[in-house]
Amino acid sequence: MIDLVIGDRAEVEVGAPAHGGHCVARHEGIVWFIRHALPGERVIASVTEVHKGFVRADAVEILVPSASRVQAPCPYARPDACGGCDLQHAAPQAQLDWKAAVVEEQLARLGGIKRSVTVEPLPGNGFGWRTRVRYRVDAIGRPGLLKHRSNEVVPLERCLIAHESIQALDVLQRTWPDRDVIEVVSPANGKAQIVENQRIVEHAAGHDFDLDAGAFWQVHPAAADTLVDTVLGMLKPQRGERAWDLYGGAGLFSVALADRGCEVTLVDIATEARWPNVTVMESPVERARLPKRTDLVVLDPPRTGAGARVTKLVTSAAPRAVAYVACDPAALARDLKTFAENGWHLADLRAFDLFPQTHHVECVALLTP
Protein backbone atom coordinates (compact mmCIF):
# COMPACT_ATOMS: atom_id res chain seq x y z
CA MET A 1 0.00 0.00 0.00
CA ILE A 2 1.28 3.48 -0.87
CA ASP A 3 1.56 5.67 2.19
CA LEU A 4 1.28 8.98 0.33
CA VAL A 5 -1.46 11.57 -0.10
CA ILE A 6 -2.06 14.38 -2.56
CA GLY A 7 0.31 17.25 -1.83
CA ASP A 8 3.10 15.11 -0.37
CA ARG A 9 6.53 16.01 -1.74
CA ALA A 10 9.75 14.13 -2.33
CA GLU A 11 13.14 14.76 -3.89
CA VAL A 12 13.55 12.36 -6.81
CA GLU A 13 15.86 11.52 -9.71
CA VAL A 14 13.93 11.72 -12.97
CA GLY A 15 14.18 8.85 -15.44
CA ALA A 16 13.07 8.24 -19.00
CA PRO A 17 10.00 9.78 -20.64
CA ALA A 18 6.83 7.70 -20.80
CA HIS A 19 3.76 7.84 -23.00
CA GLY A 20 1.41 10.57 -21.78
CA GLY A 21 3.69 13.56 -21.24
CA HIS A 22 5.52 12.58 -18.07
CA CYS A 23 8.79 11.00 -16.97
CA VAL A 24 9.20 7.92 -14.81
CA ALA A 25 10.94 8.05 -11.44
CA ARG A 26 11.28 5.49 -8.65
CA HIS A 27 11.44 6.61 -5.06
CA GLU A 28 11.37 4.33 -2.01
CA GLY A 29 9.96 1.49 -4.08
CA ILE A 30 7.17 3.56 -5.61
CA VAL A 31 6.80 4.45 -9.29
CA TRP A 32 6.23 8.17 -9.89
CA PHE A 33 4.92 9.61 -13.18
CA ILE A 34 6.13 13.21 -13.14
CA ARG A 35 5.07 16.05 -15.43
CA HIS A 36 7.08 19.23 -16.11
CA ALA A 37 10.36 17.35 -15.63
CA LEU A 38 13.06 16.16 -18.03
CA PRO A 39 15.15 12.97 -18.01
CA GLY A 40 18.20 13.20 -15.77
CA GLU A 41 16.91 16.03 -13.61
CA ARG A 42 16.69 16.08 -9.85
CA VAL A 43 13.44 17.69 -8.74
CA ILE A 44 11.04 18.21 -5.89
CA ALA A 45 7.86 16.43 -7.00
CA SER A 46 4.42 17.03 -5.52
CA VAL A 47 1.86 14.21 -5.61
CA THR A 48 -1.30 14.97 -7.60
CA GLU A 49 -2.90 11.49 -7.69
CA VAL A 50 -2.41 8.27 -5.72
CA HIS A 51 -3.14 4.93 -7.38
CA LYS A 52 -2.53 1.31 -6.56
CA GLY A 53 1.10 0.78 -7.46
CA PHE A 54 2.02 4.31 -8.62
CA VAL A 55 1.51 8.02 -8.10
CA ARG A 56 1.21 10.97 -10.45
CA ALA A 57 3.10 14.14 -9.59
CA ASP A 58 4.27 17.53 -10.82
CA ALA A 59 7.83 18.80 -10.66
CA VAL A 60 7.40 21.95 -8.56
CA GLU A 61 11.08 22.74 -7.98
CA ILE A 62 14.03 21.94 -10.25
CA LEU A 63 17.13 21.22 -8.15
CA VAL A 64 19.44 19.98 -10.93
CA PRO A 65 18.14 21.01 -14.38
CA SER A 66 18.74 19.23 -17.66
CA ALA A 67 20.85 20.99 -20.28
CA SER A 68 17.76 20.67 -22.49
CA ARG A 69 15.53 22.68 -20.14
CA VAL A 70 14.30 26.07 -21.39
CA GLN A 71 12.03 28.73 -19.95
CA ALA A 72 8.50 27.99 -21.17
CA PRO A 73 7.36 30.95 -23.33
CA CYS A 74 3.76 30.63 -22.18
CA PRO A 75 2.96 31.82 -18.62
CA TYR A 76 0.25 29.13 -18.37
CA ALA A 77 2.65 26.23 -19.10
CA ARG A 78 3.19 25.39 -15.44
CA PRO A 79 1.96 22.66 -13.08
CA ASP A 80 -0.92 24.65 -11.57
CA ALA A 81 -2.27 26.03 -14.85
CA CYS A 82 -3.18 24.89 -18.39
CA GLY A 83 -2.73 21.21 -19.21
CA GLY A 84 -2.50 21.65 -22.98
CA CYS A 85 1.27 21.86 -23.48
CA ASP A 86 3.34 19.11 -21.87
CA LEU A 87 6.76 20.01 -23.24
CA GLN A 88 7.25 23.77 -23.44
CA HIS A 89 10.03 23.41 -20.86
CA ALA A 90 12.04 21.28 -23.32
CA ALA A 91 14.23 22.62 -26.14
CA PRO A 92 12.98 21.79 -29.66
CA GLN A 93 15.42 18.93 -30.27
CA ALA A 94 14.74 17.55 -26.80
CA GLN A 95 11.02 17.41 -27.64
CA LEU A 96 11.76 15.38 -30.77
CA ASP A 97 14.09 13.06 -28.84
CA TRP A 98 11.45 12.67 -26.10
CA LYS A 99 8.80 11.58 -28.61
CA ALA A 100 11.20 9.24 -30.41
CA ALA A 101 12.06 7.55 -27.12
CA VAL A 102 8.37 7.09 -26.30
CA VAL A 103 7.60 5.54 -29.71
CA GLU A 104 10.60 3.20 -29.39
CA GLU A 105 9.54 2.14 -25.89
CA GLN A 106 5.93 1.49 -26.90
CA LEU A 107 6.98 -0.53 -29.95
CA ALA A 108 9.33 -2.65 -27.84
CA ARG A 109 7.09 -3.17 -24.81
CA LEU A 110 3.70 -3.56 -26.50
CA GLY A 111 4.65 -4.66 -29.99
CA GLY A 112 7.79 -6.71 -29.44
CA ILE A 113 9.54 -4.56 -32.05
CA LYS A 114 13.02 -3.12 -31.50
CA ARG A 115 13.46 -0.20 -33.86
CA SER A 116 15.26 3.13 -33.84
CA VAL A 117 12.88 6.06 -34.46
CA THR A 118 13.51 9.63 -35.58
CA VAL A 119 10.72 12.18 -35.16
CA GLU A 120 10.66 14.67 -38.02
CA PRO A 121 9.67 18.31 -37.40
CA LEU A 122 7.19 20.17 -39.58
CA PRO A 123 7.74 23.72 -40.87
CA GLY A 124 7.48 26.53 -38.31
CA ASN A 125 8.91 27.38 -34.92
CA GLY A 126 6.57 25.17 -32.90
CA PHE A 127 4.08 27.94 -32.06
CA GLY A 128 1.05 29.42 -33.82
CA TRP A 129 0.23 26.16 -35.59
CA ARG A 130 -3.06 24.93 -34.11
CA THR A 131 -5.86 25.73 -36.58
CA ARG A 132 -8.61 24.31 -34.37
CA VAL A 133 -9.02 25.23 -30.72
CA ARG A 134 -11.76 24.19 -28.29
CA TYR A 135 -11.99 26.69 -25.46
CA ARG A 136 -13.96 25.86 -22.31
CA VAL A 137 -15.94 28.45 -20.33
CA ASP A 138 -15.91 28.68 -16.54
CA ALA A 139 -18.84 29.38 -14.21
CA ILE A 140 -18.61 33.15 -14.66
CA GLY A 141 -18.23 33.09 -18.44
CA ARG A 142 -14.44 33.33 -18.78
CA PRO A 143 -12.97 31.27 -21.67
CA GLY A 144 -9.85 29.19 -21.26
CA LEU A 145 -8.43 25.68 -21.35
CA LEU A 146 -8.53 22.81 -18.88
CA LYS A 147 -5.99 21.82 -16.28
CA HIS A 148 -4.32 18.45 -16.82
CA ARG A 149 -6.69 15.55 -16.00
CA SER A 150 -9.26 18.02 -14.68
CA ASN A 151 -12.48 19.78 -15.61
CA GLU A 152 -11.24 23.00 -14.02
CA VAL A 153 -11.04 25.85 -16.55
CA VAL A 154 -7.91 28.01 -16.56
CA PRO A 155 -8.90 31.43 -17.98
CA LEU A 156 -6.40 32.62 -20.62
CA GLU A 157 -5.41 35.86 -22.23
CA ARG A 158 -3.60 34.10 -25.09
CA CYS A 159 -2.76 30.60 -26.32
CA LEU A 160 0.65 30.55 -28.00
CA ILE A 161 0.13 27.35 -29.97
CA ALA A 162 -3.16 28.62 -31.47
CA HIS A 163 -2.87 29.76 -35.06
CA GLU A 164 -2.02 33.46 -35.33
CA SER A 165 -5.38 34.23 -36.94
CA ILE A 166 -7.14 32.57 -33.97
CA GLN A 167 -5.01 34.55 -31.54
CA ALA A 168 -6.12 37.73 -33.36
CA LEU A 169 -9.79 37.08 -32.51
CA ASP A 170 -11.24 38.63 -29.35
CA VAL A 171 -12.58 35.33 -28.01
CA LEU A 172 -10.36 35.38 -24.92
CA GLN A 173 -11.00 39.05 -24.21
CA ARG A 174 -14.76 38.57 -23.84
CA THR A 175 -17.01 36.72 -21.42
CA TRP A 176 -19.43 34.06 -22.64
CA PRO A 177 -22.15 33.61 -19.99
CA ASP A 178 -24.39 31.51 -22.26
CA ARG A 179 -21.77 29.03 -23.48
CA ASP A 180 -19.89 26.06 -22.08
CA VAL A 181 -17.64 25.55 -25.10
CA ILE A 182 -16.32 27.81 -27.86
CA GLU A 183 -14.80 26.11 -30.89
CA VAL A 184 -12.66 28.22 -33.21
CA VAL A 185 -11.29 27.24 -36.61
CA SER A 186 -8.80 28.82 -38.99
CA PRO A 187 -9.40 27.13 -42.36
CA ALA A 188 -6.92 27.11 -45.22
CA ASN A 189 -9.28 29.23 -47.34
CA GLY A 190 -10.85 31.85 -45.10
CA LYS A 191 -10.55 33.80 -41.88
CA ALA A 192 -10.54 32.42 -38.35
CA GLN A 193 -14.07 32.10 -37.03
CA ILE A 194 -16.16 30.65 -34.24
CA VAL A 195 -17.70 27.33 -35.26
CA GLU A 196 -21.46 27.56 -35.62
CA ASN A 197 -23.19 25.68 -38.44
CA GLN A 198 -21.15 27.03 -41.33
CA ARG A 199 -19.12 25.36 -44.05
CA ILE A 200 -15.40 25.85 -44.51
CA VAL A 201 -12.87 24.94 -47.18
CA GLU A 202 -9.60 23.15 -46.44
CA HIS A 203 -6.93 22.49 -49.04
CA ALA A 204 -4.57 19.52 -49.32
CA ALA A 205 -3.27 17.02 -51.89
CA GLY A 206 -4.08 19.53 -54.63
CA HIS A 207 -7.80 19.61 -53.82
CA ASP A 208 -10.30 21.75 -51.93
CA PHE A 209 -12.34 19.98 -49.24
CA ASP A 210 -15.74 21.51 -48.51
CA LEU A 211 -16.44 20.57 -44.89
CA ASP A 212 -18.71 21.24 -41.99
CA ALA A 213 -16.73 23.60 -39.75
CA GLY A 214 -16.78 21.07 -36.93
CA ALA A 215 -15.60 18.12 -39.03
CA PHE A 216 -12.28 16.43 -38.29
CA TRP A 217 -9.24 17.85 -40.05
CA GLN A 218 -5.58 17.82 -39.10
CA VAL A 219 -4.80 20.82 -36.90
CA HIS A 220 -1.26 21.61 -38.13
CA PRO A 221 -1.29 23.48 -41.48
CA ALA A 222 1.39 21.20 -42.93
CA ALA A 223 0.04 17.93 -41.51
CA ALA A 224 -2.39 16.82 -44.22
CA ASP A 225 0.07 17.16 -47.09
CA THR A 226 2.86 15.60 -45.02
CA LEU A 227 0.76 12.52 -44.33
CA VAL A 228 -0.46 12.20 -47.92
CA ASP A 229 3.07 12.44 -49.30
CA THR A 230 4.28 9.85 -46.80
CA VAL A 231 1.47 7.38 -47.50
CA LEU A 232 1.89 7.69 -51.27
CA GLY A 233 5.64 7.34 -50.97
CA MET A 234 5.27 4.14 -48.97
CA LEU A 235 2.49 2.49 -50.97
CA LYS A 236 3.69 3.53 -54.45
CA PRO A 237 0.19 3.09 -55.93
CA GLN A 238 -0.11 1.99 -59.55
CA ARG A 239 -2.86 2.84 -62.02
CA GLY A 240 -5.66 0.29 -61.92
CA GLU A 241 -4.94 -0.98 -58.43
CA ARG A 242 -7.74 -1.37 -55.91
CA ALA A 243 -7.40 0.47 -52.61
CA TRP A 244 -9.30 0.67 -49.34
CA ASP A 245 -9.28 3.86 -47.28
CA LEU A 246 -10.49 2.71 -43.87
CA TYR A 247 -11.69 5.37 -41.42
CA GLY A 248 -11.45 7.61 -44.47
CA GLY A 249 -13.11 10.74 -43.06
CA ALA A 250 -13.16 13.60 -45.55
CA GLY A 251 -11.40 11.48 -48.16
CA LEU A 252 -7.90 12.95 -47.92
CA PHE A 253 -6.11 9.70 -48.78
CA SER A 254 -8.89 8.51 -51.11
CA VAL A 255 -8.61 11.45 -53.46
CA ALA A 256 -4.81 11.18 -53.49
CA LEU A 257 -5.01 7.49 -54.42
CA ALA A 258 -7.70 8.18 -57.03
CA ASP A 259 -5.43 10.81 -58.60
CA ARG A 260 -2.87 8.02 -59.07
CA GLY A 261 -5.42 5.95 -60.97
CA CYS A 262 -6.57 3.65 -58.18
CA GLU A 263 -10.12 2.41 -57.72
CA VAL A 264 -10.78 3.43 -54.12
CA THR A 265 -13.32 2.29 -51.55
CA LEU A 266 -13.65 4.68 -48.61
CA VAL A 267 -15.21 3.37 -45.40
CA ASP A 268 -16.26 5.49 -42.44
CA ILE A 269 -19.23 5.56 -40.12
CA ALA A 270 -20.12 9.01 -41.46
CA THR A 271 -18.46 10.95 -44.24
CA GLU A 272 -19.15 13.80 -46.65
CA ALA A 273 -16.55 12.52 -49.13
CA ARG A 274 -17.73 12.45 -52.74
CA TRP A 275 -14.94 12.03 -55.28
CA PRO A 276 -14.61 10.53 -58.78
CA ASN A 277 -13.29 6.94 -58.71
CA VAL A 278 -14.09 6.71 -54.98
CA THR A 279 -16.85 4.39 -53.74
CA VAL A 280 -18.11 5.53 -50.36
CA MET A 281 -19.43 3.08 -47.77
CA GLU A 282 -20.97 4.68 -44.68
CA SER A 283 -20.50 1.93 -42.14
CA PRO A 284 -18.42 1.01 -39.10
CA VAL A 285 -15.21 -0.39 -40.56
CA GLU A 286 -15.47 -3.70 -38.69
CA ARG A 287 -18.92 -4.35 -40.22
CA ALA A 288 -18.27 -3.07 -43.75
CA ARG A 289 -19.22 -5.41 -46.61
CA LEU A 290 -16.00 -4.98 -48.55
CA PRO A 291 -14.77 -6.97 -51.56
CA LYS A 292 -12.76 -10.06 -50.70
CA ARG A 293 -9.55 -8.73 -52.22
CA THR A 294 -7.71 -5.44 -52.54
CA ASP A 295 -4.21 -4.32 -53.52
CA LEU A 296 -3.61 -1.49 -51.06
CA VAL A 297 -5.00 -0.34 -47.71
CA VAL A 298 -4.75 2.94 -45.87
CA LEU A 299 -5.64 2.39 -42.23
CA ASP A 300 -6.20 5.61 -40.23
CA PRO A 301 -8.06 4.52 -37.09
CA PRO A 302 -9.08 6.62 -34.08
CA ARG A 303 -6.83 6.91 -31.03
CA THR A 304 -7.93 3.51 -29.74
CA GLY A 305 -6.43 1.78 -32.78
CA ALA A 306 -7.81 -0.65 -35.33
CA GLY A 307 -8.08 -3.72 -33.10
CA ALA A 308 -7.89 -7.42 -33.92
CA ARG A 309 -11.14 -7.61 -35.89
CA VAL A 310 -10.19 -4.87 -38.37
CA THR A 311 -6.63 -6.16 -38.61
CA LYS A 312 -8.00 -9.58 -39.57
CA LEU A 313 -10.30 -7.93 -42.13
CA VAL A 314 -7.29 -6.23 -43.71
CA THR A 315 -4.90 -9.18 -43.75
CA SER A 316 -7.53 -11.59 -45.10
CA ALA A 317 -7.95 -9.32 -48.15
CA ALA A 318 -4.31 -10.05 -49.08
CA PRO A 319 -3.20 -6.52 -50.07
CA ARG A 320 0.40 -6.08 -51.18
CA ALA A 321 0.91 -3.21 -48.72
CA VAL A 322 -0.80 -1.37 -45.86
CA ALA A 323 -0.09 2.19 -44.72
CA TYR A 324 -1.12 2.60 -41.09
CA VAL A 325 -1.51 6.21 -39.90
CA ALA A 326 -1.43 6.36 -36.10
CA CYS A 327 -1.95 9.19 -33.63
CA ASP A 328 -1.25 6.98 -30.61
CA PRO A 329 1.98 4.93 -30.39
CA ALA A 330 0.53 2.50 -27.85
CA ALA A 331 -2.41 1.58 -30.09
CA LEU A 332 -0.04 1.34 -33.06
CA ALA A 333 2.28 -1.02 -31.19
CA ARG A 334 -0.58 -3.30 -30.15
CA ASP A 335 -1.93 -3.45 -33.71
CA LEU A 336 1.54 -4.08 -35.16
CA LYS A 337 1.84 -7.07 -32.86
CA THR A 338 -1.47 -8.39 -34.20
CA PHE A 339 -0.29 -7.87 -37.77
CA ALA A 340 2.91 -9.78 -36.95
CA GLU A 341 0.92 -12.66 -35.50
CA ASN A 342 -0.86 -12.84 -38.87
CA GLY A 343 2.40 -13.02 -40.80
CA TRP A 344 2.95 -9.35 -41.60
CA HIS A 345 6.16 -7.32 -41.37
CA LEU A 346 6.85 -3.70 -40.39
CA ALA A 347 8.75 -2.60 -43.49
CA ASP A 348 9.07 1.12 -42.72
CA LEU A 349 8.06 3.65 -40.09
CA ARG A 350 8.20 7.43 -40.01
CA ALA A 351 7.20 9.70 -37.13
CA PHE A 352 6.23 13.38 -37.31
CA ASP A 353 5.91 16.19 -34.80
CA LEU A 354 2.43 17.28 -35.83
CA PHE A 355 1.73 18.66 -32.35
CA PRO A 356 4.73 20.72 -31.10
CA GLN A 357 4.92 21.57 -27.38
CA THR A 358 2.70 18.57 -26.55
CA HIS A 359 3.55 14.90 -26.00
CA HIS A 360 1.53 13.80 -29.04
CA VAL A 361 3.25 12.28 -32.06
CA GLU A 362 1.97 10.94 -35.39
CA CYS A 363 3.39 7.81 -37.01
CA VAL A 364 2.99 6.24 -40.44
CA ALA A 365 3.89 2.55 -40.69
CA LEU A 366 4.29 0.48 -43.86
CA LEU A 367 3.24 -3.14 -43.47
CA THR A 368 3.89 -5.90 -45.99
CA PRO A 369 3.04 -9.61 -45.93
As annotated, the active-site residues are 327
Among candidate residues 361, 362, 363, the one with its CA nearest the CA of residue 20:
361
Report the greatest alpha carbon distance in the chain. Answer: 65
Q: Around 278, how many Cα atoms within 13 Å sit in the side-chain half-sphere?
A: 28
SS (H, E, C) 209-266: EEEECCCCCCCCCCHHHHHHHHHHHHHCCCCCCEEEEECCCCCHHHHHHHHCCCEEEE
Q: Where are the alpha helices (DSSP H) in the chain?
A: 92-111, 164-167, 223-235, 252-259, 307-316, 329-341
Per-residue DSSP letters for 127-150? SS-BSEEEEEE-TTS-EEEEBTTS
